[in-house]
Structure 1
């Protein structure tokens, strides 16, 4: 058997006084995919960054061994402790990288063509014409439509899935022996995620590339990996073939990750009362945005003639791919955008009136996807939660506000002393709980949750979903739950609205829709959800 493409042995990373990675060992063979899985802070990305020589943190000390096999019979390259010059020859040439957020990984000032040809000119000494021809071949290989015209596009002119395809093309431009994919599908909707997974597997088969795939979701790992390394607090707790991990997990932590995955049919909400009154009634909602294109001004029809109702104490799940108009609906209902047509009433009161009374506006709460960017980093948690109390004069004087803030923190399962902490001192799940507490401070009748768990680890996501279900029962809350993952939607929703291109393609009770979907688009969304067990 040939040497592994990358062999990591007893890798350790220490930053200051803290041990971040503790004795991790793994190897990946040609045409093999090794999955590294664990929650945020488990050391997944730090392990791979240190093993490939990309770690550049102040006071970081890396020890152990990371050998990249030699090319054409040459000696292996030791990446731990390698010089900058040696690493520069390896990165982008023999090791390609695809990171989580293509929006920040791609240079917004350079065209797609320039970003692909850059590596070819630097590592392969290709001429401009040769590099351009290769760029076209790569864009066609990764399935980007009309690659000739896309060469001249800038990142902001592409969708999230298209940007990630460009990242894959850049990573594969020099035919690397090893591809590192660090959470490459976390921010994508399930259908685009499935396309990227299929793309990498196809390219791996065609080019024989070894792949290290990092994820917090064992469901995704189950679709791509041959071997799995489970990390917790920088240590390996389990290392086995993928089917062994799913069928015979040895460690309690692995079993927790498996149990936390959103799986179709695993959990469904209790049936809602058939006679529950309608709280929100939306009819004929229509939203258009003027945009400027290279050929002149145009109009994007974001939401088209959309109608639905939400009964008090129930959850309406709104699902669809990126660009389907889901978040635009939330923005229209909260006054962030002005619809061109349609009506929306809350208990008979007009939410879309030119001047909406403040007392009506506070009856609709909103929780965003990214809790870190929706909270002011310079403001303590207590101040953030107390702001709506002060603005809407809901809790009397300062002492009464402090008491109410403590009650709200307790309601979302956080200690009262968290009021003095800042957002950067909290985990992702804790920040999202603070965002929920802030929204509940207004005592809303309707809570709009816009992809509110999409950016969380699956274990943290499961706990937040349990919290939301508990709050709904205790406070008789009504949810408009927006998401792209039908397994999560099924877990939370009594009724489901499936959107595509700004229109409703299905709108039915959740039990009926999941039992027998009518539209092919809904079937594709369901098929894109990772299965409970890897397909072999």
Structure 2
């Protein structure tokens, strides 16, 4: 191929009076990966959506040129032309598979649909290809998962399905918008290898959008750094990591947590356990093509968390991490075991005592946009637990408390009147933390609380969590797949695999000398710090 797979020239996007993207140009060659980096709101996704003809915002005006394979102009192309291109010649993997997958169709049908449409395959041929793709992206028990629906899979498993759909027709161009954000490090490594294989075998070009510079350093050949819809820096990947020219690029590199960094301040050696879990066992009934079955999600798990300390819970998708959080907060009913909070068995209390004990445990979920009510201002969401637990008398006292909570997470009281869609990802996550703090909990469970925000925001949220722990004496259960983040926050680390404990040790010991082969595999899969040579 003599032409670039995608050539974008002077692309501008304007919505109403606001210019979102201003004069962006970029080129992607066959077998090349272009990494696009920037903070939330920098225009990364908007640029690529506009360039590929997927932008459908009311009032949006897109100008410039975007040519696919030297022959097809995508700016201003007809809907019929774009339908023939999307899914066939251009594959897309978006950040949130929960909103990208059709909840009414099985996994099999969502993959075979594009094969039948763009490759004219029979149902049998498409089904065989779908199974092959699910095996390639590492989905557990792919044969049994073919008839599953998206809600029956974990977040990481849904993302694997999205990647399988995008790769189904061997596209000329793969657009990957934060494709590994929700995935653990081993699955992330598998996906990176899978994309490399696709490039080698079919000459596929890739546009990889990410806030994780570690991943960009692993996959990209060239990097474009965006800020406020404009190109700040463009260079080969080695130059970006070893000799960045722009201060903004250096800020992004500095904000990224890396293994071997600082851990949290130590906990007093005489700190007593706040939470003790013994023999926790959780099973879920599921339907399979061969009938009803049982998923043994958590198996005889025991651990404790010292008051004022952080326990990091690590494991691959489907390892049972979120099920543990659900069991501790009453969202899932364990089959056996005990959960004791400061001497009170959380699983056995009833009535008013149950309500009181639940107030002492709060949960911050991974996706703040999904966990906040989009129909009400965020101040109403923060005030809700105050009303439920009768922690404020009257509107004035409640509003004052909401203002205090917003201030504690670094937001002004004026944010109370804003709606979730008016906030950035980092601001929404801060609101979620403020709401969790409303009941003055002793234990805060953070389920992938920084996975969906960019590195600069993530650094601020981590600092915020450490400050809150020091000031309020909070105890954390931090669930995550980013081992550098786990190291930054955790005093102790528990590694889960298939619902079973693999390793449970002080964080400093585990990261310095992991004992179990699986823990070593997790650490080996973490992208290396390519900027190390710059700082040495």
TM range (shorter): over 0.9
Structure 2 residue 361 is matched with structure 1 residue 364 = yes
Query: Per-residue displacement from partner, 1:62-120 (whole Å, max 9, x unpaired)?
Result: 111112224xxxxx222212222333333233222222233433334445554444434
Distance in 1 (CA, whole Å) between partners of 2:104 and 2:148 is 10
Quick one: structure 1 residues 282 and 138, their matched pair in 2 at CA, closer, same or farther if it must change by over 3 Å?
A: closer
Assess if the C-alpha contact under 8 Å between 2:222 and 2:235 holds in 1.
yes
TM-score normalised over the length of structure 2: 0.92
Match of 1:12 in 2: 12
Residue aligning to 2:523: 526
Change (3 A) 1:388 1:163: closer
- 1:152-193 CA-to-partner distances (Å, cap 9, x unmatched) read 555455555554444444334443322211221122222211
Contact 2:283 2:298 in 1 (8 A): yes
**Does structure 1 conserve the Cα–Cα contact (< 8 Å) formed by 2:144 and 2:289?**
no
SS at match of 2:362: strand
Shift of 1:149: 6.4
Other structure's SS at 2:458 match: helix
**RMSD over equivalenced CA pairs, Å:** 2.5
C-alpha deviation, 1:128, in angstroms? 4.9
Moved more, 439-448 or 380-389: 380-389
- Tell me what 2:96 maps to: 101
Contact 1:223 1:534 (C-alpha < 8 Å) held by counterparts: no
Is residue 203 from structure 1 mapped to residue 191 from structure 2 by the alignment?
A: no
* Residues 146 and 357 of structure 1: CA distance in aligned 2, closer, same or farther (over 3 Å): closer
Structure 1 residues 316 and 532: CA distance shift in structure 2, 3 A: same
Tell me, yes or no, if structure 1 residue 299 matches structure 2 residue 294. yes
CA distance in 1, matches of 2:37, 2:182: 16
Alignment of 1:27 onto 2:27: yes
Once the 2 structures are TM-superposed, how far is the Cα of residue 386 of structure 1 from its aligned partner? 2.3
Residue in structure 2 matching 1:170, options 158, 165, 172: 165
Counterpart Cα distance in 2 of 1:374 and 1:141: 32
- For 1:57 and 1:207, locate their aligned partners in 2 and report how far apart those are by CA, in whole Å: 33
How many Å separate the matches in 2 of 1:449 and 1:155?
23
Aligned twin of 1:73: none
Cα drift, residue 411 of structure 1: 1.1
CA distance in structure 2 between the partners assigned to 1:489 and 1:272 by the alignment: 16
Mark the runs of 5 or more structure 2 residues left unpaired by the alignment: none
Alpha-carbon distance, 1:240 to partner: 0.4
1:50 aligns with 2:47: no
Worse-matched range after superposition: 149-158 or 233-242: 149-158
What is the aligned counterpart of 1:441 among 438, 441, 455? 438
Shift of 1:518: 0.9
1:431 aligns to 2:433 (yes or no): no
259, 262, 270: which one pairs with 1:264?
Answer: 259
Structure 1 residue runs without a partner (length 5+) = 71-75
Aligned partner of 1:213 in structure 2 is 208
Which range is displaced more, 127-136 or 29-38? Answer: 127-136
- Superimposed CA distance per residue, residues 218-255 of structure 1 (whole angstroms, 9 cap, x where no aligned partner): 11111100000111111000100001001111112211
Aligned: 1:243 with 2:238? yes
Q: Tell me, yes or no, if structure 1 residue 309 matches structure 2 residue 315.
A: no
Select between 96-105 and 334-343 the one with higher mean Cα deviation. Answer: 96-105
What is the aligned counterpart of 1:232 among 227, 230, 233?
A: 227
Specify the alignment match of 1:388 in structure 2.
385
How big is the shift at 1:348?
1.3
Q: Where does residue 472 of structure 2 map in the other structure?
A: 475
Change (3 A) 1:346 1:232: same
Q: 1:364 to 1:31 in 2, by over 3 A?
A: same
- After superposition, the Cα gap between the structure-2 partners of 1:507 and 1:55, relative to the gap in structure 1 and judged at 3 Å, is same
How many residue pairs get matched?
531
- Alignment-derived partner of residue 39 in structure 1: 39
Residue 498 of structure 1 is matched in structure 2 by 495
Distance 1:91 1:181 in 2: 13
Distance 1:309 1:146, change over 3 A: closer
Q: Judge conservation of contact 1:263–1:530 (CA < 8 Å) in 2.
A: no
Instruction: Find the counterpart in structure 1 of residue 180 from structure 2.
Output: 185
Secondary structure class of the residue paired with 1:298 = strand
> Match of 1:267, SS?
coil
Give the Cα separation in 2 of the matches to 1:150 and 1:280. Answer: 36
TM-score w.r.t. structure 1 length? Answer: 0.92
Further displaced range: 259-268 or 21-30: 259-268
Quote how far apart the aligned CAs of 1:26 are: 0.7
Tell me which of 314, 320, 332 is aligned to 1:319: 314
Determine the structure 2 residue equivalent to 1:282: 277
Q: For residues 333-355 of structure 1, give each alpha carbon's deviation from its aligned partner in whole angstroms, at most 9, with x where no partner exists.
A: 22222222222222212212141
Q: 1:120 to 1:293 in 2, by over 3 A?
A: closer
The structure 1 residue matched to 2:508, chosen from 506, 511, 528, is 511
Q: Secondary structure at the match of 1:448?
A: strand
